[in-house]
Amino acid sequence: MLLKTALSVMLCMNHVQPVIQYGEYINCNHNAVNTEYANCNGNAVNAEYGQAEIQESDDIIDDTYEEEFEKMDSIIQDKNKVTYTEIYEAVKSGDLKKIAELVGQMIYNSLLYELGESKKLFVQLLAVIMLGTIFTNLSGRIGGYAGGNGFFVTYMILAALLLSCFTLASEIAIEVISGINEFMIAFIPAYSMAAAYSNGQETAMFSREIILLVVFICENVLLKIVFPIVKCSGVCGLVNKMNTEDYFSKLIELLKSIAGWIMKTIFATITGINVIKGIISPSMDKLGRNGAIKVIGNMVGGTAVQTVASVLVSSGMFIKNCIGIAGAVVVIVIAVIPAVKIFLMFLGLKAIAALVQPMGDKRFSEGVASMAEAIELLFKTSGIAVLMFIISITALTMLTG
- Condensed to tens digits (0 to 9), the pLDDT of residues 43-75 reads 443 444 444 444 444 555 555 667 777 777 777
pLDDT given at position 10: 39
pLDDT tens-digit map of 146-178: 556 777 788 888 888 889 889 989 988 998 899
Q: Provide the percentage of residues in the chain whose pLDDT is more than 90.
A: 16
Residues 148-157: contacts with CB under 8 Å, at least 24 apart: 151/361, 151/363, 152/242, 154/128, 154/129, 155/242, 155/363, 155/364, 155/367, 157/128
Residue 25: per-residue pLDDT: 36
Q: What is the mean pLDDT of residues 375-380?
A: 92
Most confident of the ranges 61-75, 92-106, 302-316, 320-334: 320-334
Structure confidence at residue 228 (pLDDT): 92
Tell me the pLDDT tens digit for each residue of 268-281: 999 888 888 777 77
Stronger pLDDT, 216 or 2, i.e. the higher one: 216
**CB within 8 A of 186, min separation 6: which ones?**
68, 71, 72, 75
Q: Assess contact for 385 and 180: CB atoms under 8 A.
A: yes
Q: What is the pLDDT of residue 18?
A: 37
Average pLDDT score, the chain: 74
